[in-house]
Amino acid sequence: MKKTIWLIGIVLAAILLVYIGFQWLSPAFSAKALTEEEAKNVALERYAGEIIKTTKQNDKYQIELQAETGLYQLEIDATSGDIISVSQLQKQVNKQEQRTEEQPKQLTEAEIKERISSQGTVKSLKLIEGEKPHYVAVIDQNNEEITLELDAYTGETTKETPNAKPLLEEEEAIEIAKKEFKKEGEVEDVEFFPSGEPTPYYLVEIEGEDDEKTYEIDAYTGELRNIFDSSIDDDDDDSE
């Protein structure tokens, strides 16, 4: 009898040990590892964005997720589905900040002057703001005014326009000729040549008591370009 009871006790103890062991080991056996798709769903349930890359190392999934605020890396336990860590890999730059960073630096007036100084004497320089900022410069190039338009960022000349100089009036040309004649005389004739070379000019003929001269005057600058002594020709004609 005692032997039977003893055997029953041993059997019951063995059953109890097996039961306890099964309860202890059952979570490990019952836990099923997450699939890659399930790991992605875990990430998207917690964070809005787009999955860029998924890798698995040992018992962890590493997921790169592009959100509105930047690029993040999530570590997810492959067994429990818990998110172990979250780290930001890259900050998202908004479009306004991106345009500001990409926009080149605008050149200063001093930098523009330095770039065009070899073309002539800078008489004026002005920055024109707008959708396409640019500088407008007026330079004196070999006694000729030229207007330049320059890109405000690169300094490149985008347009070059010679400035039309005002022509001298006939009376102004006559006054220049009289000063050159340097004595009393009468203006006999004035002719204007609009297509003269290299520029338009006046011919002003002045006759004095004993001589007669014709002055060629630049119609732009007022410069005396030539003097013709008409009295010499008249003497030659008389001798004949």
Q: How many CB atoms lie within 10 A of CB 78?
A: 20
Structure confidence by residue, pLDDT tens digits, 9-56: 665 666 666 555 545 444 444 457 788 888 888 888 888 888 888 988
Whole-number average pLDDT of the chain: 81
Structure confidence by residue, pLDDT tens digits, 84-125: 888 888 876 555 555 555 567 899 999 999 999 999 899 899
Sequence-distant (6+) residues with CB within 8 A of 212 are 188, 205, 206, 229, 230, 231, 234
Lowest-pLDDT choice from 77-91, 156-170, 204-218, 226-240: 226-240
Give pLDDT, residue 94.
Answer: 59
Give pLDDT, residue 201.
Answer: 92
Q: Rounded to whole angstroms, how far apart are CA atoms 174 and 153?
A: 49
Percent of the chain with pLDDT over 70: 77
Residue from 213, 205, 215 nearest 233 by CA = 213
Q: Rounded to whole angstroms, how far apart are CA atoms 77 and 59?
A: 6
What is the pLDDT averaged over residues 150-162?
90
What is the pLDDT averaged over residues 156-169?
83
Lowest-pLDDT choice from 95-99, 132-136, 184-188, 198-202: 95-99
Split at pLDDT 50, 70, 90, the class of 234 is: low
Structure confidence by residue, pLDDT tens digits, 8-22: 666 566 666 655 554
Give pLDDT, residue 21.
Answer: 57
pTM: 0.36
Tokens of 123: 């008489």
Query: Where along the chain do the CATH 3.10.450.40 domains lie?
Result: 29-103, 104-162, 170-239
Percent of the chain with pLDDT over 90: 31
Dihedral-angle region of residue 157 (phi above 0 means left; psi in -120 to 50 means alpha; beta otherwise): beta
Split at pLDDT 50, 70, 90, the class of 203 is: very high
Q: Check whether the bond before 198 is cis (ω within 30° of 0).
A: yes
Q: What fold characterizes domain 104-162?
A: Nuclear Transport Factor 2; Chain: A, (3.10.450)
Q: What fold characterizes domain 170-239?
A: Nuclear Transport Factor 2; Chain: A, (3.10.450)
Q: What fold characterizes domain 29-103?
A: Nuclear Transport Factor 2; Chain: A, (3.10.450)
Q: Rounded to whole angstroms, how far apart are CA atoms 151 and 145?
A: 20
User: Greater confidence, 114 or 165?
Assistant: 114
> Which letter, b or e, does each residue of 123-135 get, where b requires 16 or more Cβ atoms within 10 Å of its Cβ?
eebeeeeeeeebb
What is the pLDDT averaged over residues 46-75?
87
Give pLDDT, residue 107.
Answer: 92
